[in-house]
Homo-oligomer: A and B are copies of this chain.
Amino acid sequence: MAERNATLETTIETLITQKKYPTLRDILVTMNPADIAAMFSDLEERTLPLLFRLLPKDIAAETFAELEPDLQELLIRGFSDSELKEVVDELYLDDAVDLVEEMPANVVKRILRQADAETRKLINDILKYPEDSAGSIMTTEFIDLRPTMTVQDALKNIRRNGSDSETINTCYVTDEGKHLLGIVSIRAILLSEEDAVLMDIMEDNVISVSTLTDQEEATAMISRYNFTVMPVVDGENRLVGIITVDDAMDVMEDEATEDIEIMGGVTPVDTPYLRTSVFQFWRARIPWLMLLMIGATFTGMILDHFENALVRFTVLTMFIPMLMDTGGNSGSQCSVTVIRALSLGDIEFSDLLAVIWKEIRVAVLCGLSLAAVSFAKILLVDRLLLGNNDITILVALTVCVTMAVVVLAAKLIGCTLPMLADKLGLDPAVMSSPFITTIVDALSLLVYFAIASALLGT
Q: Is A211 interfacial (CB-CB < 8 Å)?
A: no
**Chain B neighbourhood of A311, CB < 8 A:** 311, 314
In the complex the two chains form, is B329's CB within 8 Å of A273's CB?
no
Give Cα A367–Cα B293 distance, bound, in whole angstroms: 12
- Taking CB atoms and an 8 Å cut-off, the chain A residues in 327-385 that contact chain B are 328-330, 332-333, 335-341, 344-348, 351, 354-355, 358, 361-362, 365-366, 369-370, 373-374, 377
Among A163, A256, A338, the most chain B Cβ lie within 10 Å of the Cβ of A256
| Distance from A332 Cβ to chain B, minimum over Cβ atoms (Å) | 5
Q: By the criterion CB–CB under 8 Å, are B187 and A266 in contact?
A: no
Residue interface bits A217-236, CB-to-B below 8 A is 1, else 0:
10011111111100000000
A411 (CB) vs chain B CBs: closest residue: B285
Contact A321 B303 (CB under 8 A): yes
Q: Quick one: closest B residue to A262, CB to CB?
A: B336
Tell me whether A272 is interfacial, beta carbon within 8 Å: yes
Tell me which residues across on chain B come within 8 A of A319, comparing CB atoms: 300
The count of chain A contact residues (Cβ–Cβ below 8 Å) is: 121
Which among A74-82, A112-120, A241-249 touches the partner chain?
A241-249
In the bound assembly, the distance between CA atoms of A269 and B217 in angstroms comes to: 23
Instruction: Specify how many copies of this chain sit in the oligomer.
Output: 2
Answer whether residue A261 sits at the interface, using C-beta atoms and an 8 A cutoff. Answer: yes
Q: Please encode chain A, from 280 to 316, with 1 for each CB lying within 8 Å of some chain B CB and 0 for all others.
A: 0110011011101111110111011001001100110
Chain B's nearest CB lies how many Å from the CB of A420?
Answer: 17
Please report the C-alpha to C-alpha distance between residue A344 and residue B361 in the assembled complex, in whole angstroms: 36
A sample of 23 inter-chain contacts (CB < 8 A) reads A3-B345, A169-B169, A223-B249, A252-B253, A252-B256, A256-B256, A264-B333, A265-B333, A266-B333, A274-B346, A288-B329, A289-B407, A296-B324, A296-B325, A299-B321, A300-B319, A300-B320, A300-B321, A311-B314, A321-B324, A325-B441, A332-B434, A437-B437
